[in-house]
């Protein structure tokens, strides 16, 4: 499964499907178009500040946006993190 950046997902949802102009979204969010472009391109994460702005602008739950970013970050960490040398605290060393 592809781990799509939440900004790219939101661009597909709000720009591509709903046809909201990026310039208008940025204005409604009270952020620069450059900042929003970076989020939509996957070059900048959805901060808590931006999540609050998105929730108010689109009349949605702030946790939706926080969750999108958290799931993306978690999946990215799972792909990169080597756990081969990590040991359980609940197994005896001779049983590993």
The separation between CA 84 and the C-alpha centre of its own chain, rounded to angstroms, equals 27
Q: What is the pTM of this model?
A: 0.85
CA distance 16 to 36: 15
What architecture is domain 6-75? Orthogonal Bundle (1.10)
Mean pLDDT computed over 40-55: 98
Task: Single out the residue of 38, 32, 29, 31 nearest to residue 11, CA to CA.
Answer: 38
Q: Which tens digit of pLDDT belongs to each residue from 70-93?
A: 999 999 999 999 999 999 899 877
């Amino acid at each position: 499964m592809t781990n799509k950046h939440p900004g790219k997902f939101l661009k597909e949802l709000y720009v591509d499907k709903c046809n909201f102009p990026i310039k208008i979204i940025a204005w409604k969010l009270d952020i620069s178009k450059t900042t929003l472009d970076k989020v939509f391109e996957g070059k900048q994460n959805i901060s808590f500040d931006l999540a609050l702005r998105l929730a108010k602008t689109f009349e949605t739950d702030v946790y939706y946006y926080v969750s999108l970013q958290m799931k993306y970050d978690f999946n990215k960490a799972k792909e990169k993190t080597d756990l081969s040398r990590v040991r359980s605290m609940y197994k005896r060393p001779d049983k590993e």
